[in-house]
A and B are shown apart, each in its own frame.
Chain A
Amino acid sequence: MSANGKYETVIGLEVHAQLLTDSKIFCGCSTKFGADPNTQTCPVCTGMPGSLPVLNRKAVEFAIKTGLAMDCEISLFSRFARKNYFYPDLPKGYQISQYELPICERGHLDIKTSEGTKRIGITRIHMEEDAGKNIHEGAGPYSLVDLNRAGVPLMEIVSDPDLRSPEEASEYMRRLRTILRYIGVCDGNMEQGSLRCDANVSVRPRGQRELGVKVELKNMNSFRFVEKALEYEITRQTKAIEDGEKIIQETRLWDSAAGVTLSMRTKEEAHDYRYFPEPDLVPISVEKNWIEEIRKGLPELPGQKIERFIKEYQLPEYDSELLASEKPLAEWFEEAVKLGGNPKAASNWIMGELMRLLNEEGLSIEEKPAVKPAMLVEMIGLIENGTISGKIAKTVFEEMYKTGKQAKIVIEEKGLVQIADAGSLAPVIDEILARNPKEVERYKAGDEKLIGFFVGQVMRATKGKANPALLNELLKKKLS
């Protein structure tokens, strides 16, 4: 038995999501990304003595909204706590976070695995403020501190240790990101750090009840890195156990350039945060009707949308999942169907050509407003009524995508109308047959596979405009 089969991996994720508020969580400074250093700071977020924090109502609303989207229990009574540690990016000497009594607890999120749907528990969701940013200048003796990010509202979403592989972990991250984007509480941008992920990972012999010693992984800022870092760490821990070494409880950083995890600090020197209730902020008592109001504002969630697409449009699960992965894409698809587009045809064009062209430019559908569902619907109609072939349609679609012109105009300008009358097609076929007497002979002698050769030749001569059904019919007639 391989080492992998003997051991089981246990993973829990702590995801930090930046909330899409305009202002910071405890003061009115802007949260906009990319401003000049320290231009979005004030006495509150720089920790000046005598300043007092005041909670941003929207941050609470967003945290509750997230909790509802993940079937959490919303705490009717919640409060903030101080997490004490010293670091230059934390001007107060403590981070305002939540410890006991977080805003949401006990929810879940369903993920797809090779063995079907799996339910992953959500332990808790709490609110906290972000820290500033440190920049280390080369090898010089200084670091630079920018406090624009200090006080930006974050939500920490902690999963139960229910994940069993790197693939499950990244699938969980993807699902989570999709939900956060659907409900509009986080933009999910991992590169800019608005969605960050830490993982607790341990390995234990299969069948053992108690968990192995866990290691905390940090600094995985893409789905791919989440998988790679976990894979590396699982291999490292498994080998250590096989070699009879002890796993040390520690924090390790993922080094994406080297493709390894490196020890950052061990438990013995771990921070002792000395949490206590934040005296500067009064408790939150969530009114039930506020929760209901927020619940009413929830959009259809990805899971619900996938189910509905399968039922309402008879789409395969694969199509539904892909279309529902981004809300604007799902809306684009539904708009096309509403305008009369055949759902499966629309789905094929979106998943194939549209996604390919968008990916080539690194754009999402909402960044390409010139490409409209109506244009696709019109083009599908032109395929259905035989004006263009499916093959030519690819050229038409790409041209529509690039120029924003309607299918009819593209077809006219480029002379792409299908040759669908025998009178125009027959002379072309005759010419091809006359030019290839040997092949004609072989075909007549029984090598019927050569039909493909003739089709190809005619298609080339007509630049792909021949109607395939008519072409086949005429060819067979002439060759018999």
Chain B
Amino acid sequence: MSIDIKEVTHIAKLARLSLTGAELELYSTQLSGILGYVEKLKELDTGGIEPTSHVLDLKNVMREDRVRPSLPEDEVLANAPDRKDGFYRVPRIIE
């Protein structure tokens, strides 16, 4: 299985990445290689085996509905490139 340029362009769009033509080609080759490797797993006969969604044999890990302190504003926004009046400020996002 290979991932062509069109597919990479689509995925890049979903991930909001803008890629150059050279990058598209590079990732097409690299992603195809990865999928080719995973393709090998398909050789295994997995008929009759339940798909695994979780590797831990655990269920029902829950907490009680109790409010705990949130982070102080300065810590919350510490990594934000830009802020205003306690908000994160980002490039305009009207769809």
Contacts and interface: CB of A to CB of B under 8 A. Distances in A.
A21 B65 contact: yes
Interface in B41-69: 53-54, 56, 58-69
Interface string B53-95: 1101011111111111111010011000010111111111111
Contacts of A40: 70
A282 B93 CA distance: 34
A29 B72 CA distance: 12
B64 A41 contact: no
Contact of B63 (A55, A143, A146): A55
Contacts of B15: 86
> How extensive is the interface on chain B, given as a class?
35 or more
A434 B52 CA distance: 99
A285 B61 contact: no
B89 A142 contact: yes
Contacts of A135: 87
Given A39-B73, A142-B89, A282 B61 contact: yes
A266 interface: no
B67 A36 contact: no
B67 A41 contact: no
B6 interface: no
Contact of A142 (B10, B62, B64, B92): B92
Contacts of B76: 38-39, 41, 46, 147
B65 A272 contact: no
B22 interface: no
B67 A28 contact: yes
Nearest to A253: B95
B66 A30 contact: no
A18 to B, nearest CB: 14
Contacts of B87: 37-38, 135, 144-146
A461 interface: no
B59 A282 contact: yes
B16 interface: yes
Contacts, number: 131
B53 to A, nearest CB: 4
Nearest to A287: B60
A57 B64 contact: yes
Contacts of A147: 76, 88
Contacts of A319: none
A147 B67 CA distance: 16
A381 interface: no
A42 B91 contact: no
Contacts of B90: 88, 142-145
A45 to B, nearest CB: 9
Contact of B92 (A46, A54, A59, A143): A143
A55 B54 contact: no
Contacts of A143: 89-94
Contact of A279 (B54, B77, B93): B54
Contacts of B91: 141-143
A426 interface: no
Contacts of B89: 142-145
A43 B71 contact: yes
Nearest to B68: A28
Contact of B88 (A23, A36, A54, A144): A144
A40 B19 CA distance: 36
B65 A22 contact: yes
B95 to A, nearest CB: 7
Contact of A37 (B10, B66, B82, B85): B85
Contact of B61 (A22, A29, A55, A88): A55
Contacts of B85: 37, 144
Nearest to A21: B65
A38 B60 contact: no
Nearest to B55: A279
Contacts of B56: 282
Contacts of A59: 65
B86 A23 contact: no
B66 A28 contact: yes
Given A39-B86, A79-B53, A141-B91, A57 B62 contact: yes
A339 B46 CA distance: 71
A142 B59 CA distance: 43
B54 A30 contact: no
A87 interface: yes
Given A22-B65, A87-B93, A272-B14, A145 B88 contact: yes
Contacts of A27: 68
A143 B95 CA distance: 12
Given A37-B86, A39-B73, A272-B10, 10 more contacts: A28-B69, A29-B70, A36-B73, A36-B86, A56-B62, A56-B63, A88-B88, A141-B91, A146-B87, A282-B58
Report the 6 A-B pairs with minimum CB-CB distance, sorted nearest first: A28-B68, A144-B87, A58-B65, A277-B53, A57-B62, A145-B88
Interface of B: 10, 14-16, 53-54, 56, 58-71, 73, 76-77, 82, 84-95
